[in-house]
Amino acid sequence: MAGPDDTLREMSHEGIRFVSEEEARRARVEERELSPDAKTPAKVRVHKTEGTGLEIDWKDGHRSQWTFAWLRNACPCATCHEEREKSGRKPGEAKPHPQTLLPMYQAAPRPDSVTPVGRYALSFNWNDGHTSGIYSWDYLRRHCGCEECRESSTLRG
Ligand SMILES: [Zn+2]
Ligand SMILES: [Zn+2]
């Protein structure tokens, strides 16, 4: 029964996966249409010196904020995305503490620099050397870290 379409699936080590309720819910969140104003930033503040995080005022009047730790753990690049999928972490969820005998000191995530990517995204140059994540306005708004959105996404559960 294997056709050419199965190539991708064969390349993954997991074989056929069952979609959990959590994954299905997340997929629905991803699909939700955002109005253009909801994903157009009016003001972007990067609190780099304070190390507190990123704040965006959107054109529709909503204000989003994220800590740098959250953003680092939500890196949308393919590598980080895959790693999260494998360990079942949500974007922004911290990795469990590594089971090493000698725990390594890890500096709190913060960007050495933040650069706009065209007119649609931000790119973070993280202090751990990771730079491949492109955080689109769409992605950021969908994962708004303000209290209100975080609460409503848990309630929707
Ligand atoms: Zn990444
Ligand atoms: Zn929000």
How would DSSP label each residue in 23-92?
HHHHHHHHHS---GGGGSEEEEEEETTTT-EEEEEETTS-EEEE-HHHHHHT--SHHHHHHHHHHTPPTT
Does residue 128 register a pLDDT over 60? Answer: yes
Sign, CA torsion 23/25/29/30: positive
Going from the Cα of 79 to the center of ligand 1, the distance in angstroms, rounded, reads 6
What per-residue confidence (pLDDT) applies to 98?
A: 64
Higher confidence at residue 58 or residue 95?
Answer: 58
Domains, the chain, ordered by start: 35-92+110-157 (3.30.2020.30)
Does residue 1 register a pLDDT over 90? Answer: no
What per-residue confidence (pLDDT) applies to 151?
A: 83
What per-residue confidence (pLDDT) applies to 84?
A: 96
pLDDT confidence tier of residue 96, bands split at 50, 70 and 90: confident
Q: Which ligand is nearest to the CA of 66?
A: 2
pTM: 0.75
Going from the Cα of 94 to the center of ligand 2, the distance in angstroms, rounded, reads 20
Does residue 64 register a pLDDT over 60? Answer: yes
Going from the Cα of 51 to the center of ligand 2, the distance in angstroms, rounded, reads 20
